[in-house]
Amino acid sequence: MTVLHALPKGTVLAPQAEAPRHHRGTDRSGAVPGARVREVSWTDFDRHVQSLAKAIRGKVDVDAVVGLAHGGVFVGGALAAALKIEFFPVRLARRSRDTGQPGVKVHGAMPRELAGRKVLLVDDVSASGDALRTGLSALVKVNAKAVHTAVLLQRDLGYVADFSAIRRDDFHVFPWDYDTRGNTPVEGVDPDTAGA
């Protein structure tokens, strides 16, 4: 049994009981027009992470997980715990849809401690692959020994990660996409200023 040490004493985690009443967020994911919106609960998230961990254990040997902020930190942290290996949350890039400019703008650096390590690079969604490609390039620069990629959601027409839990073009709303105070999708929140 995994114990979460980062939560304040007395905090209880529970799966989302219902879909939000007001969808204020904007689907900028590149999903196919007319695709369904699917909500992923914390329970679904855990099931997908455990499935990913099992697939990774059977195929590759890794000794560190890098989770790309924002959503990759949730997935990467959970995968690192399931695999019982070291976790590095990293904010490397902001997607073009966030800045309005084409391409990826690099904001950070990969930890030097990853030199010579076998790394699993993790993000929540693989669509264009810009963030994963940027992360792979940064890992090469710090001399990571071997790198594999994993995502929670793999778009059918997107960049193909080595491991994925969900393969669909439907738009998915993850548990971390909600403002916990009002249970509404977060729109226009900058992870840099929100503490991610």
Write the pLDDT tens digit of every residue in 98-157.
555 555 555 678 999 999 999 999 999 888 888 899 899 999 999 999 999 999 988 877
Q: What are phi and psi of 183, to 5 degrees?
A: 55, 40
> In the prediction, which pLDDT does 169 show?
66
Q: What are phi and psi of 160, to 5 degrees?
A: -95, 115
Give the integer Cα–Cα distance in Å for 148 and 62.
Answer: 8
pLDDT tens-digit map of 67-110: 998 888 999 999 999 999 999 999 875 555 555 555 555 567 89
* pTM for the whole structure: 0.69
Three-class SS of the chain = CCCCCCCCCCCCCCCCCCCCCCCCCCCCCCCCCCCCEEECCHHHHHHHHHHHHHHHHHHCCCCEEEEECCHHHHHHHHHHHHHCCEEEEECCEECHHHHCCCCCEECCCCCHHHCCCEEEEEEEEECCCHHHHHHHHHHHHCCCCEEEEEEEEECCCCCCCCEEEEECCCEEECHHHEECCCCEECCCCCHHHHCC
Give the integer Cα–Cα distance in Å for 191 and 93.
Answer: 11
Domains defined for the chain, CATH in brackets: 37-187 (3.40.50.2020)
Alpha-carbon radius of gyration of the chain: 16
Q: Which residues contact 91 (CB under 8 A, 6 or more apart)?
A: 68, 69, 107, 108, 191, 192, 196
Give the integer Cα–Cα distance in Å for 106 and 97.
Answer: 14
Q: Which two tokens stand for residue 75?
A: 């997935």
Cβ 103 vs Cβ 95: under 8 Å: no
Does residue 184 carry a pLDDT above 70? no
* Alpha carbons within 13 A on the beta-carbon side of 68: 28
Of residues 91 and 184, the one with the higher pLDDT is 91
Mean pLDDT of 42-56: 92
Cβ 162 vs Cβ 150: under 8 Å: yes
